């Protein structure tokens, strides 16, 4: 594709939760100078001109932006389909009604488990009951509701209960997504990676639920990369379908690409159109010409595009390497070793998790006007 159809607008990395699987950057202080309301308006207008059709409003927790309704209204006026990706902490009825009036199209709420104590422990703060209440408000106001659950060793055995909960709240879609190991999640990988036995049991439950709920609720199950024979086509190919704008205005081909040693591109310094077409961060791994072997000579090179560049960099130190998830990668042993450890008979069922620090207090107030240049 010549232009992206999806924009992930990461409005803030501040968040009331402390999930140990968080994939947001470890250095959140680098993103404290958040884009102002008028800057987001310009970004949305440029995204629409570029061909973007869908706008996913995410974070961190986007509800911490006081101007969220203004941003939603701008996106709505531009004809963009808007999806709020939220923990639902702070989604009160008055706030929800405000967003409904602004034109918000869809709500995705995350939950950590089907049972309050487990969910709150994983989230690092009491939040389960507020999430359930918010799901009720979403359905009462007539929004489509997606329930998202990040699966890992500590909650994958609760899949049946999660599906029952999603059915009870009237979810239109449930996403069961195994953890992606970036950011804080990579630090906690040994405690998060499930065993083969856990995955087999979960897949049986998911298959049965898909059959039973076929005409009532979409059930999406995302397999863990580490157990796949081939890597996933990250974002449908590097800088081919979607782009991400971070809270401070950096533009990336995917949410994790800030970890790569590539030149920075910012909406505070250039237009989205030029960044998309010309910036090194977008062109570095676009297409297939950059590929080394075995990717270059592989029949799947235009199916999975060599896998995830961020994962390759984090595991090997070289973003141009074949994703080690692939069984053909010369670095596959790095992944195989982690999988072997997750399935070791001597391993404890629950290793301690390192919670991500809460990301609310240290950040400044959201600006409503662009900062002055010096």
19 token code pair? 């999930």
d(CA 207, CA 199) in angstroms, rounded, equals: 12
- CB half-sphere exposure, 162, CA atoms < 13 A: 29
Is the distance from CB of 280 to CB of 271 less than 8 angstroms? Answer: no
Helix, strand or coil, per DSSP, at residue 173: strand
The vertex-236 CA angle with 246 and 260, nearest 5°, equals 45
Question: With the C-alpha atoms ordered 67, 21, 183, 292, is the resulting torsion angle positive or negative?
Answer: negative
Q: Which residues participate in the annotated binding site?
A: 15, 19, 22
d(CA 148, CA 86) in angstroms, rounded, equals: 10
Q: Which residues participate in the annotated binding site for [4Fe-4S] cluster?
A: 15, 19, 22
Is the distance from CB of 69 to CB of 43 less than 8 angstroms? Answer: no
Strand ranges (E), the chain: 6-10, 54-58, 81-86, 106-110, 145-151, 173-178, 218-222, 242-245, 251-252
């Amino acid at each position: 594709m010549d232009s992206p159809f999806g924009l992930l607008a990461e409005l803030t990395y501040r968040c009331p939760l402390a999930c140990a699987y968080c994939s947001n950057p470890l250095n959140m202080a680098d993103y404290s100078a958040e884009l102002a309301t008028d800057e987001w308006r310009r970004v949305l207008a440029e995204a629409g001109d570029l061909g973007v059709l869908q706008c996913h409003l995410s974070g961190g927790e986007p509800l911490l932006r006081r101007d969220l309704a203004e941003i939603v209204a701008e996106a709505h006026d531009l004809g963009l389909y808007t999806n709020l990706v939220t923990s639902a902490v702070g989604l009160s009825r008055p706030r929800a009604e405000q967003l409904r009036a602004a034109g918000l199209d869809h709500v995705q709420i995350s939950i950590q488990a089907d049972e309050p104590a487990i969910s709150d422990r994983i989230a690092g703060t009491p939040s389960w009951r507020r999430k359930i209440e918010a799901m009720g408000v979403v359905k009462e106001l007539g929004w489509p509701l997606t329930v998202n659950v990040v699966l890992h060793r500590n909650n994958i055995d609760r899949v049946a209960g999660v599906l029952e909960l999603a059915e009870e709240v009237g979810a239109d879609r449930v996403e069961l997504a195994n953890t992606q190991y970036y950011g804080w999640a990579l630090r906690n990988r040994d405690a998060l990676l499930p065993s083969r036995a856990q995955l087999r049991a979960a897949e049986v439950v998911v298959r049965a639920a898909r059959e039973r709920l076929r005409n009532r609720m979409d059930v999406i199950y995302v397999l863990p990369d580490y157990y796949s024979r081939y890597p996933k086509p990250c974002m449908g190919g590097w800088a081919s379908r979607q782009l991400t704008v971070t809270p401070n205005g950096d533009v990336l081909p995917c949410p994790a690409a800030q970890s790569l040693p590539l030149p920075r591109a910012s909406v505070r310094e250039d237009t989205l159109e030029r960044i998309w077409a010309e910036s090194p961060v977008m062109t570095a791994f676009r297409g297939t010409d950059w590929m080394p072997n075995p990717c270059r000579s592989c029949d799947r090179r235009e199916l999975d595009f060599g896998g995830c560049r961020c994962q390759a960099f984090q595991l090997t130190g070289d973003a141009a390497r074949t994703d080690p998830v692939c069984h053909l990668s010369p670095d596959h042993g790095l992944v195989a070793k982690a999988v072997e450890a997750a399935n070791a008979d001597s391993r404890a069922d629950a290793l301690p998790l390192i919670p991500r620090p809460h990301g609310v207090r240290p950040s400044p107030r959201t600006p409503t006007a662009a900062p002055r240049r010096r």
